[in-house]
Each structure stands twice: as C-alpha cells, then as structure tokens.
Amino acid sequence: MRGNQSFVILLVMKLLKNLFSKPLSTQLKVTSSNGFHLRPVARFTTLAKSFSCDVTASFDGNTVDAKKVNALLSLSLDKNDSFTVTTRGKEAQKALTALQTLFEMLMQDDVEVTTITKEHTHYEGETLEGDIITKGVAIAPASVYKTETLQHENSLAFKDAMQQTIKTLEETYSAQKESNNADIYLAQKELLSALAEKCDSLEDLEILIEKESSKLQGTTLSAKITDYQDVLQQVKTALGLEVKILFPEENFILLADDLLPSEIALLSSTQVQGVVLKETSINSHTAILLRASGIPSLIADTSQIPLSSDIILDSVAGVVVLHPSSDDMQKAKVSQEQNKKDKAHSASKRFESAQTTQGKTIKVYANVGDVLSAKVAKEEGAEGIGLLRSEFLFKSVKPTLETQTKAYTEIFNTFEDVTVRTLDVGGDKALPYINIPLEDNPFLGVRGVRLFRTHPEILAEQLHAIFIAAQGRKVKVMFPMVSTVEEFNKAKIFAQEVAQEHNVDISHIEFGIMIEVPSVLFLLQTLNKVVDFYSIGTNDLTQYLFATERTHPSLKIDETSSVVFDAITHILNHATKPVSICGELASNTEAIEKLIHLGLTTLSVNPKSIAQTKETIRYV
C-alpha cells in the first residue's frame, strides 16, 4: 500500500514540476521569400511533436499550438515576420534548441522560386501574357474539364477513412523521399493529422477546412488553400464519394482556375499538351508538381482565352496566342519540333556509356533509396547502383524479414551491379523504433557501423534478407562510418556468422567500406588487405575534415575545396582495391573533370543527375 502511495506522490510531483516549470522562449525571424509555408511548417510541427513538452508559437497577439500544422499556418507568417516559440515541460530546453536549429535550416534551404525569364518571340496574333510555370510550346484547342460525382459502396467509418488517407499520404511520402517533391505529401499528411483531432464527421471536416482556409485568404499563403481542398477530396474518396474528372480524349490545353496537387498525376494519362491556370502561384504545390511533370504551363487570365479553337501556349515566351495566324502556327511547330529533337537526343544518349574525349570509359551509377527510385535510375540510364541507402526501406515501421527480402530482390533484379550500404542511422537520421540514447554530439556518436554493437539483432536480420535476395547475383555489402580496421573486421565476421547460422552461401558477396572518417586515410595500407572495395562518401568526409556539421544552419563548407581533393588524391594513391565516389561531389559539374583526372572511373549520383553527368564526362 505504501509503495502505491509513494508512486502516486512521485507521479503528482512530476506532473506539478512540468506544470509549473519555467517556460523557455526564443524569437525566430522568417527570412524565406516564400514565408513560413506548409512544407517547412509540417517539418517544424513533426519535430515539435517528438518532444515531451508543450510548444506554442505567438505572433501579432495570437498564440497557437506549434504541434499542429493548421494552427501554425493560421499565423500567416511572411518574410521578415518575427514570432516567438515557447516551450514548457520536461524536454523544454532540448526542444527549443532543436526547433531553433531546424527553423534556421528550413529558412536557408527554402529557395525562392524565381520568375523565369521570358524569351522574346514575335507573334502576329493577339497574345495574352502570363507567368511561366514550366517552359515549353503547345498547340491544341483550349478546354476545361468536367466532373462527375460517383457514390461507391463504402464500408469505412469517417475516422477510418481519415486514418486510411493519412496512411496513404505517409506511404506516398516514403516512396518518393528521393524526389524534391516528397515534402508535399508529408505536409499534407501532417495537415490532415491535425484536422483529424477536431473532426468526428465529414461535415465537421468541411466546416473546419472552410474556417482554416478563410484565414489564409488574401495572404501570401493563400495558394495553400488547395492543399486543404486536396486532403478533403482524398478523404471523400476514401469514403466512396469519388469526383471523377473527365478530360477530352483528343489533344487539349487545359484551362482552370487552379488544380489540386493530386490531380496533376491524372493529367499524365491524358492527351494534355499544356496547362493555363488563373489563380495559382509559382510557389504553390500545384506549380511544383507541374514543373516536375514537364507539362508546359503558364499562370494567366483564362477568362480571355477562347474555348474549342486552336491556341498556342508558348511558355518559353510566357504568352498564349489567342488567335494564331498561319505563320504563328508554323513558327510554334518549328519550336515544338526542335524541343522534341533536343529531348529525344538527350533521352537516347542517356543509355550510352560515358567516354571522355580521350576514349576513357567512366561508369555512372545511381544512389537510390528504394524499389521505386531504383526503377527510376534504370530508366534514367544508370549502369548500376553505387549506393543503396537501405535505411529508406525501413520507414517508420520496422520491416519484417520477408518485406526486406522482397525489396532487395526487386532491386537486385533491376541491376547486375548493386552496392548495399547497411543500415545507417544516427546523426541527422533517425528511425522511431531504433532507440539511440540522447548524445551531446550525435554526429560523433552511435551511427553507421557502430549499430552492430548497439542493435545487432536489427543488423542481423537485414544481412539475412540481403543474403537471401543476393543468391546467384553480384552484390556488394558496404559498411558506413568505419573508422578502424577492427570495426570492419568485426562487422564482416558478424555478417559471416549470420550467413553460417542460416546456412546461406555468401562466397560471391564482396565486403567494403565507405570512406567518410578521416582516420581511414591513414589506415589504407592495412585495410587494403581485408576490404574488397572502397566508396568515398564526400558529404560526411568533408564534414569531418572541416569539423563542421553538414546540416548546420549557418556554417557552410566548400565541397570543392582543395583539401577535399587532396584527401581524394591520397586515397587513390594508397588504395589497391577499387575506389568509387558516391557523395554529391560526384555530380558537381565543376568537379567531374578533376575527379576523372585524379583517376576515378566510377561515379555514383542521384538518378536525375545521370544524363547530365554522362554528358559532362563526354567533354572531359
């Protein structure tokens, strides 16, 4: 009895301590020209929710819960606005420090989408000017889309439909983490999660969205209203209420006030030649996805454009030709044909090997994170996978052995030469089910190969899955963050013991390391005797060479510094096993020629950089 009383007393004291603890505050200034908009807000609230404390944001007399996306968005924070973040509770100091660091990084990384310069082209017909979203030339009748509402049989309750939609957005985000657009889906997921806490019915959700959208009307964040409408539509679809969009079956240029981000994907399966939107902005998620799709697009007053007759959308010149003459049509067709030839030429050459002017062949591999990005890499012309970031396969839920094996098998089937990096978390990368104790400097703590000591069961299962999937294939296993010869030897022995335990033949598998830690530069003579290959990870190597955290919000490093190239030269001069490079430096057009002259023959880059990297090599 006394034990229970003591426990209750301690619990009450703990609660009182949190309740009456002194709040901590800091002032943050919005420096991005885009304002504090949905994507950075979503990342901010996601981090805030990870701490055991209250987090609020105050601006212009309003104080909101900074763990809720819609609440923080309602402050409509624009460039040069300063707001106060206050934390109270157990992890108040830790939360405040982390949020301030993240916010500064978000502001620095949130590059302004600048107005695209228009190329002057003279047309005889009347023209309508607009702002360019995506460059291109299209000729087709102008058309608007129609909708048809269908009610399908539905067994989901409202709350279940909300959770299913949130899960779908999370899966889409995880599947596209390698793309520049992934944060859009994370933002929508966090937005819907915040709304879900206040709604018990579809009617509640519609009323709340109307209320939250009204707060953004007339602000620089008004373009984000489409995201509210988008998540609402996705929930309705989950409930069986489908709004089917009917597009023309022939070539058309779509006119609309705006489009929902989720509707952009539908356009790819239609005969759309171009898009003109009236009410979006070049910073909207709709515009971002249109740019990613490559569809010629413009922002202009669609009410002035005649329907059902051929128009010219020249989003290189930034105009719509309303009533084109025969000469106008001929000029536009010539531009179209030239664009097609240029794209076709680039597309056809991406599968060709990259040779320098001296006839030296350089292999261009891809850095990927999952099955989808591996398939994209294949389509982009990659010759293999130089870095499979396996942590992206793990997402927010620990995968089963079967799930991992299936993913690795699909990726190994895509390429003949694949290098898998074992799980690399710690530092700026975290997984919710891997508990790494709080460290004063996580970049110098438990991460990479050190997980073999702290989480051997997770690494054992990962290696088992890799070995099953790799049967009969050429696969390389690479250990990250190796700093000593002993670390590599222990990791390899661990891998061999896993194979022996499960009676799997791994005689065809090679084992190597990423060169990221400067100590390795002085151990190459010994490492040459035990490793099968090396891969230079220039991102972390540069970070440790300059003792500057690569995610630091204000301190920056020159990755093309002579120090970095001196380190690479040293590696190439002392390594007797194959060396490749998989850091961002490999796709830096200013560095490629120098890397090749130093002796590197294998570069591994992001999938979208493959064609450009190959073309750059051809001029070396």
Residue 486: give its domain's CATH number. Answer: 3.20.20.60
- Residues 42, 189, single domain; the answer is no
Per-residue pLDDT for 2 more than 60? no
C-alpha separations of 153 from 157, 206, 231, 540, 545 in Å = 12, 21, 20, 53, 61
**pLDDT tens digits, one per residue of 67-94:** 988 888 888 888 889 999 999 998 899 8
Q: Is 285 a catalytic residue?
A: yes
Q: Count of domains in the chain?
A: 4
- Residues 22, 97, single domain; the answer is yes
Per-residue pLDDT for 286 more than 50? yes
Per-residue pLDDT for 110 more than 70? no
- Residues 377, 420, single domain; the answer is yes
**pLDDT tens digits, one per residue of 156-200:** 899 998 999 988 888 887 766 555 567 788 888 888 888 888 899
CA-derived radius of gyration, the chain: 27
- Residues 239, 255, single domain; the answer is no
**pLDDT tens digits, one per residue of 491-534:** 999 999 999 999 999 999 999 999 999 999 999 999 999 999 99
Please list, in sequence order, all residues whose beta carbon lies within 8 angstroms of the beta carbon of residue 204, skipping any fewer than 6 positions away.
198
Q: Is 323 a catalytic residue?
A: no
Exposure of 566 in the CB half-sphere (CA atoms within 13 A): 5
- For residue 247, the one-letter residue type is F
C-alpha separations of 361 from 50, 190, 354, 590 in Å = 48, 47, 6, 19
- Residues 86, 162, single domain; the answer is no
Higher pLDDT among residues 39 and 353, named by residue: 353
- Residues 134, 163, single domain; the answer is no
- Residues 327, 381, single domain; the answer is no
Per-residue pLDDT for 344 more than 90? no
- Residues 104, 22, single domain; the answer is yes
Dmax over CA atoms of the chain, in Å, equals 95
Please give the residue range of the domain that contains residue 451. 349-617
What was the pLDDT predicted at 573?
96
- Residues 213, 330, single domain; the answer is no
Per-residue pLDDT for 428 more than 50? no
- Its pTM stands at 0.53
Average pLDDT value over all residues in the chain: 85
- Residues 572, 521, single domain; the answer is yes
- Residues 201, 251, single domain; the answer is no
118, part of any domain: no
**pLDDT tens digits, one per residue of 396-408:** 567 889 999 999 9
**pLDDT tens digits, one per residue of 290-312:** 887 788 999 999 998 998 889 99
Q: How far is CA 551 from the centre of its chain?
A: 15
Per-residue pLDDT for 366 more than 70? yes
Exactly one of 37, 53, 199, 582 is catalytic; name it.
Answer: 582
In angstroms, the CA 205 to CA 566 distance is 59
- Residues 358, 463, single domain; the answer is yes
Q: How far is CA 343 from the centre of its chain?
A: 25
CB 407 within 8 A of CB 387: no
**pLDDT tens digits, one per residue of 540-588:** 898 888 887 655 555 667 778 889 999 999 999 999 999 999 988 898 8
CB atoms within 10 A of CB 48: 24
What was the pLDDT predicted at 443?
61
**pLDDT tens digits, one per residue of 129-154:** 999 988 889 999 999 888 787 787 77
What was the pLDDT predicted at 460?
92
Exactly one of 37, 53, 285, 455 is catalytic; name it.
Answer: 285
